[in-house]
């Protein structure tokens, strides 16, 4: 297998354009699959983050996803086919304190992806959302942002300290974490599926939260179908 690594910054229009030019030159102008997996995180009460840091989370986790989608769509429209896979999180469905900003970005990824799914489904371009649980390779604790205002945490009660400790434990890599190969296998399954038949939502490694996430996904799909039905679609 011929794998080539190309530098790309999802927060930069020029970097994305440069990378896509290189990729299209190597692929005869064809781009079949986009997998949006770039992301950063933060565990801590929202007040400890500066507005600029919250913006950084959204720039990478959400705006970066949208930037990449818009960059590949001209290629896929020309081909009249393609696949966009966005990595969200089970946390997108749980607006948990002490990980609120991160959860907000992943909820935004879900909403953005669903809207693209319905917009593109008549064009031959598929959109799929993968909602992973906690994997050791993610390690969002040690790779987390360093808060600009950590002193604000002292203004909160012991309840938030307990929630933070529980989240840090959950997201700290350990031998009991699921194998990240599961996510790769799901991606491969989606890529191999027939165009137009790919599931919008796939939960992987969600553990005890998986059933609740799948239920909320089902409600979202049914609600969208009802809304579009009212519009005659």
The CA distance from 130 to 184, in Å, is 11
Distance CA(158)–CA(217), nearest Å, equals 33
How many C-beta atoms lie closer than 10 Å to residue 59's C-beta?
Answer: 16
The pair phi, psi for residue 201, each rounded to 5°, is -115, 140
Signed CA dihedral, 177, 179, 182, 187: sign only: positive
Q: Are 46 and 161 in contact (CB under 8 A)?
A: no
CA atoms of 191 and 102, how far apart (whole Å): 27
Q: Which of 42, 102, 116, 117 is catalytic?
A: 102
Q: Is 102 a catalytic residue?
A: yes
Cβ–Cβ < 8 Å for 105, 54: no
Can you tell me the distance from the alpha carbon of 38 to that of 86, in angstroms, rounded to the nearest whole number? Answer: 10
CA pair distance 191, 96, nearest whole angstrom? 32
The Cα 132–Cα 127 span in angstroms is 16
- Which tokens sit at 131? 């909602």
Instruction: Indicate which residues carry an active-site annotation.
Output: 102
């Amino acid at each position: 297998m011929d794998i080539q690594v190309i530098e790309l910054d999802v927060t930069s229009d020029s970097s994305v354009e440069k990378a896509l030019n290189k990729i299209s030159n190597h692929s005869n102008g064809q781009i079949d699959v986009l997998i949006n997996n770039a992301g950063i995180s933060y565990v801590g009460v929202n007040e400890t983050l500066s507005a600029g840091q919250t913006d950084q989370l959204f720039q990478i986790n959400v705006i970066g996803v949208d930037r990449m989608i818009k960059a590949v769509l001209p290629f896929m429209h020309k081909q009249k086919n393609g696949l966009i896979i966005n990595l969200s999180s089970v946390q997108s469905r749980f607006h948990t304190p002490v990980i609120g900003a991160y959860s907000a970005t992943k909820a935004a990824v879900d909403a953005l992806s669903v809207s693209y799914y319905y917009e593109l489904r008549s064009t031959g371009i598929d959109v799929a959302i993968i909602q992973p649980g906690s994997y050791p390779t993610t390690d969002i604790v040690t790779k987390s942002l360093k808060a600009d205002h950590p002193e604000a945490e002292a203004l909160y009660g012991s309840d938030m300290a307990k929630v933070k400790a529980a989240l840090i434990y959950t997201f700290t890599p350990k031998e009991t974490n699921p194998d990240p190969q599961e996510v790769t296998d799901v991606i491969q399954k989606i890529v191999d599926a027939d165009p137009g038949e790919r599931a919008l939502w796939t939960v992987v490694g969600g553990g005890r939260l998986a059933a609740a996430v799948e239920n909320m996904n089902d409600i979202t799909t049914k609600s969208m179908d009802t809304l579009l039905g009212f519009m005659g679609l």
